[in-house]
Amino acid sequence: MKTKISTLIVYIVLIIFSIVTLFPFVYMILTGLMTHQELSHIPPTIIPEKLQWHNYLQVFKQVPFLNYFVNTLFVATMTTFLTLITCTLAAFALTSLQFKFKKLVFGLLIGLLMVPYESIIFTNYNTILQLGLKNTYVALIIPFMTSIFYIYFLNNYMKAIPDSLYKAAKVDGASNLEYIRRILVPIISPALVTVGILSFIMSWNSFLWPLLVTDNDNMRLLNNGLAAFATEAGAQTQLQMAAATLTVLPVLVLYFVFRKQIIRGVARNGIKG
């Protein structure tokens, strides 16, 4: 009896938290289908009287939304690709290679995890300005082409791989890059999928850094482009919410397609670590 009551309480709590979590997303979608009058109504309207699908067409007419989408897709893809390369190489070096001060380097990397991103963002910004890279793809990609957290994540994953595999590959005459490409990458592919998807989502959702290094509409990313729907007469909330729905949709699709790989990669890392 006590077990059934406990299970019921757990389900009730989960349902409540699910509603609290999902409500902002559902309301965002509904708001994107309302008229400006419905949004200005007091008390506020929850469900639109008539779905205004033309709001989505207006998004593309009012701002270069497709350009924002292409910019965001390119930056997120390149950032993910470079992150996978740099983090795999760094994790491999920390796991398999022997060199002086290896433990010190690893300790410094772990220590840098404690440094807030906001404390170095203006240093990065000044560097970008001095190099003349403002309003370029390079400025949007370079600061995020690696991640200490993902290096640590992959390092823990690689520690579970027997050293005999690396030694056998070296005996057979394989170079380090050949070992990584032919043996290591296939073994750690679940972890790489997890890193790749999380890196892509983080890059897709970035806001502060692109806001600093771009002031040209041709280089804006999706989240920064949402501000274009705010005018002197007030914000066009219905268009902002429609644009926000279009911005969130690709990330949700990506997650639902690869959710099993993400869970598998994190779970295996936790077990092996």
The predicted structure's pLDDT at residue 77? 95
pLDDT digits (tens, 9 = 90+) for 140-185: 999 999 999 999 999 988 998 888 899 999 988 889 999 999 999 9
Please give the DSSP secondary-structure letter assigned to residue 180: I
pLDDT digits (tens, 9 = 90+) for 207-243: 889 989 998 888 899 988 887 776 544 577 888 889 9
Q: How far apart are CA 183 and CA 166, in angstroms?
A: 9
Residue with tokens 């690893």: 106
Q: How far apart are CA 266 and CA 178, in angstroms?
A: 26
pLDDT digits (tens, 9 = 90+) for 187-206: 998 889 889 998 999 999 99
The predicted structure's pLDDT at residue 233? 46
The predicted structure's pLDDT at residue 183? 92
Q: How far apart are CA 177 and CA 174, in angstroms?
A: 8
Domain boundaries, the chain: 63-272
Structure tokens given for 36: 């400006």
Please give the DSSP secondary-structure letter assigned to residue 41: -
Characterize the bridge pairing of strands 234-235 and 230-231.
antiparallel
The predicted structure's pLDDT at residue 88? 96
Q: Candidates 1.10.3720.10, 3.20.20.120, 1.10.1200.10, 3.40.630.30; correct CATH number of 63-272?
A: 1.10.3720.10
The predicted structure's pLDDT at residue 265? 63
Better pLDDT: 93 or 49: 93
Instruction: State the DSSP string of 182-225.
Output: IIIHHHTHHHHHHHHHHHHHHHHT--HHHHHH--SGGG--HHHH
Q: How far apart are CA 223 and CA 211, in angstroms?
A: 9
Long-range pairs, 67-74, Cβ under 8 A, ≥24? 67/217, 67/218, 67/220, 68/220, 68/221, 68/222, 68/224, 68/225, 69/222, 69/246, 71/137, 71/219, 71/220, 71/221, 71/222, 72/204, 72/221, 72/222, 72/223, 74/137
Q: Give the global pTM.
A: 0.85
Predicted confidence (pLDDT) at residue 273 exceeds the cutoff of 50? no
pLDDT digits (tens, 9 = 90+) for 9-45: 888 999 999 999 888 888 899 888 888 888 777 777 7
Q: Is 116 exposed, middle or buried (0-12, 13-18, 19+ CB in 10 A)?
A: exposed
The predicted structure's pLDDT at residue 252? 85
Q: How far apart are CA 185 and CA 192, in angstroms?
A: 8
**CB distance 200 to 80 below 8 Å:** yes
pLDDT digits (tens, 9 = 90+) for 68-126: 999 999 999 999 999 999 999 999 999 998 888 888 999 998 888 888 888 888 899 99
> Residue 217, Cβ neighbours under 10 Å: how many?
13
Nearest to 180 by CA among 205, 204, 199, 154: 154
